[in-house]
Chain A
Amino acid sequence: MSTLKEILTRRPVAATIRLTVPAGGARPAPPVGPALGQYRLNLMAFCKDFNARTQKYKPDTPMAVVITAFKDNTFEFTVRSPSVTWYLKKAAGLEKGSGRPGHVTASSLTLKHVYEIAKVKQQDPYCQYMPLESICKSIIGTANSMGIKVQKEFD
């Protein structure tokens, strides 16, 4: 739902760049350097901006960034928190999910973990208007597909 003014003044887009950068750890080096360098974007500005905006996350969590580079060498970017699977693996202390989800349980988590993950996810620009309960349900669904059991409390 863009306003008419926004549509008229929209800058021409040169490219869409996707990256994974650790929170607070953007440096003008690979992976950021080559990816942005080829579109002549200001690396320092992106790194500083990204680091400042990801201060609220734990350092070195891999954030997914989508950068829209415009033809006049300016850019905008949105930052998303890491995928739910990453959070689940971290919370459960796993390297990979279970090989046979549904049959073999790799690990188990409590509802408290799910609630904490849902709170972080709600800060994402895409999930802000979703009720916390539905975010939790989708996290439980992902956990089931990875072979992670969700219990009410640890026994």
Chain B
Amino acid sequence: MSLVINSLRSHFFKHLLCTSTAAAAASTATALIFGHRTRGLVGQSRFSDSVFFFSERYKLLSQLASKTATFSTSRSSSSLETLPTDSYTSPYLSVTIRCQKNVADMLSEALLCFGANSTSIDEHDDSEVGDEICISSIFSVSQDVKESISLAVDSIGLKEIPSYDVVMHDHTDWIKESQESFHPVEVIEGIWIVPEWRKPPDLQATNIILNPGLAFGTGDHPTTKLCLMLLYDVIKGGEVFLDYGTGSGILAIAAIKFGAAFSAGLDIDPQAITAAQHNAALNNIQPEKLFLSLVPSTGSATFTHEIVSKPTDRQHLNDKGVFTETEKFHVVIANILLNPLLDLADQIVSHAKPGATVGLSGIISEQVPRIIQRYSPFLEDIKVSKMDDWACLAGFKKINLG
């Protein structure tokens, strides 16, 4: 992760050629974040009012004029879309407000309505005397903190604005803090998932070293564990494996470690692909064994494929850059969410060979019937395994599908 941050601070805005070394992966990571993300941002439907979006970004630009070299490179480039900051890396304001205990809840709700990104109230021990309590609230840098607080205070009927402090934090602060919560975890006997910054507790065991970055898949989530257990049972050696929704690449890398011949990982999030490439390098996986690609989130064929430009990868993509390997994989696992699983059922199953094992997860127990209903035309012998209210389905693709 520090590699990514360091390279953020240097000039990088160039088109990339991927190599499998970690350093290059980091520089591609930054170009990916800014190059692809800007394109993605403009296209995404969630920013319905694009004019507002651009003006907000320009406010951000002017406020952070002197910060880092990244801003100057982006401003110097011609197109309107190349905006420097990305919500993952922007600084944020942390505001601490002191107020009475009885109004704390209402004030935090009101703050959320008037522009705060989040509010949190620390619990005090009852032994603390006094009526005051602290609300710490997070605003984005472009927000007018004073105005938001005064509107919030007004709306709940307080007469005076309580005292507050504003501190600007860098994005690295919360990233570092969240990384502290990762510890090595033993998923199956003899298989450990170890974060990059910790030492493996058992050097003899199969250790998968991970730096999830900002992608999903640290190894301690029940669905990841269920999928790893499924992989462990199914992979006997020499299989070809597809990880649909690869996140940090953990399942694809684990498959190679268990003995698969080749793994492919697809994801709609460019952050995931860069994290997966970084993790593949950490685990010394050769690029011939592991292929990672971005897929369009809406299923349309038009997306830029500058991300994957390794020469060996071109063979898997057709001339439009779309991943079209059908019926090639012995094992396909999709650990995503209910709605994508329902929408992409045809695509996910099309990649599997007849008789192949298809695993589906990322769903809670109550969503299992819908998945079974959607996938029963394609899969037979569906088994459900559960852990902690999360479920994983495994089935075999029907041999003769009409």
Q: Which A residues are closer than 8 A to B by beta carbons?
A: 12-20, 22, 24-25, 27-45, 47-48, 51-53, 55, 59-60, 64, 73, 83
CB proximity of A39 to chain B, nearest CB, Å: 8
Chain B residues in 8 Å Cβ range of A52: 337-338, 362-364, 367, 390
Q: Is the CB of B120 within 8 A of A17?
A: yes
> A15-B121, A31-B118, A51-B337 are contacts. A36–B178 as well, Cβ < 8 Å?
yes
Q: Is the CB of A44 within 8 A of B117?
A: no
Of B120, B181, B214, the residue contacting A73 (CB under 8 A) is: B181
Q: Is the CB of A60 within 8 A of B122?
A: no
Chain B residues in 8 Å Cβ range of A44: 212, 216-218, 221
CB proximity of B105 to chain A, nearest CB, Å: 8
Would you mind naming 29 contact pairs between A and B with Cβ atoms under 8 Å apart? A14-B123, A15-B123, A17-B118, A17-B119, A19-B118, A24-B339, A28-B178, A29-B88, A31-B138, A32-B118, A33-B88, A34-B94, A35-B118, A36-B178, A37-B173, A37-B174, A37-B178, A38-B136, A38-B177, A40-B181, A42-B220, A43-B178, A44-B217, A52-B364, A55-B338, A55-B367, A59-B339, A64-B112, A83-B113
Q: Is the CB of A18 within 8 A of B46?
A: no
Q: Is the CB of B120 within 8 A of A13?
A: no
Q: Is B303 an interface residue (CB 8 A)?
A: no
> A38-B174, A52-B338 are contacts. A31–B120 as well, Cβ < 8 Å?
no
Q: Is B232 an interface residue (CB 8 A)?
A: no
> A17-B119, A55-B367 are contacts. A41–B214 as well, Cβ < 8 Å?
no
Chain B residues in 8 Å Cβ range of A33: 88, 174-175, 178
Q: Is B108 an interface residue (CB 8 A)?
A: yes
CA distance in complex: A36, B178 (Å): 8
CA distance in complex: A55, B31 (Å): 32
CA distance in complex: A18, B111 (Å): 10
Chain B residues in 8 Å Cβ range of A45: 220-221
Chain B residues in 8 Å Cβ range of A38: 120, 136, 174, 177
CA distance in complex: A32, B117 (Å): 8
Of A18, A32, A37, the residue contacting B119 (CB under 8 A) is: A18
Q: Is the CB of A18 within 8 A of B178?
A: no
CA distance in complex: A59, B220 (Å): 26
Other A-B pairs, 9, CB within 8 Å; known A15-B120, A52-B363 = A17-B119, A30-B92, A30-B140, A35-B120, A37-B177, A40-B178, A43-B178, A55-B338, A64-B112
Q: Is B109 an interface residue (CB 8 A)?
A: yes
Q: Is the CB of A35 within 8 A of B117?
A: yes
Of A24, A34, A40, the residue contacting B180 (CB under 8 A) is: A40
Q: Is the CB of A18 within 8 A of B112?
A: yes
Of B122, B218, B367, B390, the residue contacting A15 (CB under 8 A) is: B122
CB proximity of B225 to chain A, nearest CB, Å: 12
Q: What are the 8 A-B residue pairs with the smallest beta carbon separation, nearest first? A: A37-B174, A31-B117, A35-B118, A17-B120, A34-B174, A55-B338, A37-B178, A19-B118
CB proximity of A7 to chain B, nearest CB, Å: 15
CB proximity of B46 to chain A, nearest CB, Å: 5
Chain A residues in 8 Å Cβ range of B122: 14-15
Q: Is the CB of A18 within 8 A of B338?
A: no
Chain A residues in 8 Å Cβ range of B337: 24, 51-52, 55
Chain B residues in 8 Å Cβ range of A12: 123
Q: Is the CB of B119 within 8 A of A29?
A: no
CA distance in complex: A52, B267 (Å): 17
Of B119, B138, B214, B390, the residue contacting A27 (CB under 8 A) is: B214
CB closest chain-B residue, reference A65: B118
CA distance in complex: A7, B24 (Å): 54
Chain B residues in 8 Å Cβ range of A48: 216, 221, 223, 362
